[in-house]
Amino acid sequence: MSHLAERMQCIDASGIRKVFALAAKMSNPVNLSIGQPDYDVDDAVKEIAIASIRAGFNSYTQTWGIEELREAASAYYERRFGVPLHNVMITSGVSGGLFLALLATVNPGDEVIFADPYFVMYKHLTRLLGGTPVLIDTYPGFKLRAESVAAAITDRTKLLIVNSPSNPTGVMMSGDELRALADVARRHDLLVISDEIYESLSYDAPPATMAGLHDRVLILNGFSKNAGMTGWRVGFAAGPEDVIQAMNTLQQYTFVCAPSFAQKAAVAALEADMSAKVAAYRRKRDLVYEGLAAITEVTRPDGAFYIFPKVPGGDGDAFVKRAIENNLLVIPGSVFSDRHTHLRISFAAPDETIRKGLDILARLAAETQG
């Protein structure tokens, strides 16, 4: 008899982890796979965390999170988008917030709509909870269109997940495009989960938010990408009171609270000037896009630090295997998609690493096409 729950058959080990296992014996790889910034937490933010620890702020906080950070998150959205957040709770990262949100809302058989390509957790957490992922093919431009969502809605549809800027494509939705999605959700009484973790890294236009576009929108955001606080596990959620109350109840029995000292430091992180980091990543985006455009078909990312090129030859899994054999670490697109035709590159890396990676990709492409 298996001692594992049947639900474990609904999910597979992360494809990213499989790639890392395959790459474990690589010697000093050219690494364009990592989904975290290549900058560290700001010193001023570190000092607040250190001072909080030394001052004894090391106990549990309220499950909701500290009031100071909840208010700061609302104020951040008001400054950035002109829309304050309501019913804010602090989560253990955006991943923790996503898990609580789905746990609070998805019943077995419920359908959850999101774009393909998608962030890996959307599909696997939905299946873990007995829900049915409904993937909207967004190739080649990677925009989630309102008409495509409307066409996929059935009497089992429960919610829509929106991720802009996107992991893995870096494509960003405009305010009008988000408004159109909100209109569809309103007409069909859908809850919207808007994953906005990359909104601070936008390069060509001001970022847009789903906040305020529909009264059944749950905003998820955090500090891993804008502040480099990936290991500190702090995020925030805001939205309908009934959903937030349910998430708070579930947090009491799961995460309990986000790390106390990190919550204190996160208040300052929301005040940080991101302009230099955005400028640096815009330049990296241009470097990697121009290099890839000379090799293969690729959509220019508007934000985040990912790009999702089509692989020469059409077999992304095979191409990535060859890349790893040539000491280049990238992620096959099939980790994020039902298609196997692309790969994900992270340009959160030094320029020299990006150039080395482009050189290897160009050589492999020439061999494939030759």
Sheet holding 306-307, edge to edge: 306-307, 343-346, 331-332
Dist. CA 91–CA 235, nearest whole Å: 5
pLDDT band, residue 2 (cuts 50/70/90): confident
Cβ-proximal residues to 370 (8 Å cutoff; 6+ apart), any chain: none
Instruction: Say yes or no to pLDDT of 67 above 90.
Output: yes
Q: What is the predicted pLDDT for the residue at 314? A: 85
Is 325 within the bounds of a domain?
yes
In this structure, the answer to whether residues 310 and 185 fall within a common structural domain is no
Instruction: Say yes or no to pLDDT of 369 above 80.
Output: no
Dist. CA 238–CA 219, nearest whole Å: 5
Q: What is the predicted pLDDT for the residue at 28? A: 84
Tokens of 23: 């790459």
Dist. CA 53–CA 187, nearest whole Å: 48
Size of the chain in residues: 370
pLDDT, tens digit, for every residue of 321-364?
A: 899 989 999 999 999 999 999 999 999 999 999 999 999 999 99
pLDDT, tens digit, for every residue of 96-137?
A: 999 999 999 999 999 999 999 999 999 999 999 999 999 999
Is 33 within the bounds of a domain?
yes
Cβ-proximal residues to 139 (8 Å cutoff; 6+ apart), any chain: 116, 339
Evaluate the CA torsion angle 308, 150, 206, 92 in order and state its sign. Answer: negative
In this structure, the answer to whether residues 103 and 238 fall within a common structural domain is yes
Dist. CA 219–CA 106, nearest whole Å: 17
For residue 288, the enclosing domain spans 6-41+274-369
Phi-psi region of 313 (alpha: psi -120 to 50; beta: other; left: phi over 0): left
- Whether 162 and 219 have beta carbons less than 8 Å apart is answered as no
In this structure, the answer to whether residues 124 and 226 fall within a common structural domain is yes
Dist. CA 364–CA 370, nearest whole Å: 10
pLDDT, tens digit, for every residue of 278-301?
A: 999 999 999 999 999 999 999 999
pLDDT, tens digit, for every residue of 9-66?
A: 777 765 566 666 666 777 788 889 888 888 788 888 889 899 999 999 889 899 999 9
Query: What is residue 207's DSSP assignment?
Result: -
The domain spanning residue 206 has which CATH number?
3.40.640.10
Q: What is the predicted pLDDT for the residue at 229? A: 73
Number of domains into which the chain is organized = 2
Instruction: Count the neighbouring beta carbons within 10 Å of the beta carbon of residue 353.
Output: 17
In this structure, the answer to whether residues 95 and 180 fall within a common structural domain is yes
The residue among 235, 269, 303 that closes a domain is 269
With CA atoms as reference, report the closest residue to 117 among 178, 161, 73: 161
CA dihedral in degrees (95, 118, 101, 304; nearest 10)? Answer: 50
Q: What is the predicted pLDDT for the residue at 36? A: 81
Q: What is the predicted pLDDT for the residue at 228? A: 72
3-state DSSP call for residue 106? coil
Lowest-confidence region among 229-233, 282-286, 364-368: 229-233
pLDDT, tens digit, for every residue of 133-179?
A: 999 999 999 999 999 999 999 999 999 999 999 999 999 999 999 99
Using only the alpha carbons of the chain, give its radius of gyration: 20
Is 345 within the bounds of a domain?
yes
Q: What is the predicted pLDDT for the residue at 89? A: 97
Q: What is the predicted pLDDT for the residue at 111? A: 97
pLDDT, tens digit, for every residue of 165-217?
A: 999 999 999 999 999 999 999 999 999 999 999 999 999 998 899 999 999 99
Is 48 within the bounds of a domain?
no
The domain spanning residue 294 has which CATH number?
3.90.1150.10
Dist. CA 84–CA 11, nearest whole Å: 37
Mean pLDDT of the chain: 92
In this structure, the answer to whether residues 22 and 110 fall within a common structural domain is no
Instruction: Say yes or no to pLDDT of 269 above 80.
Output: yes
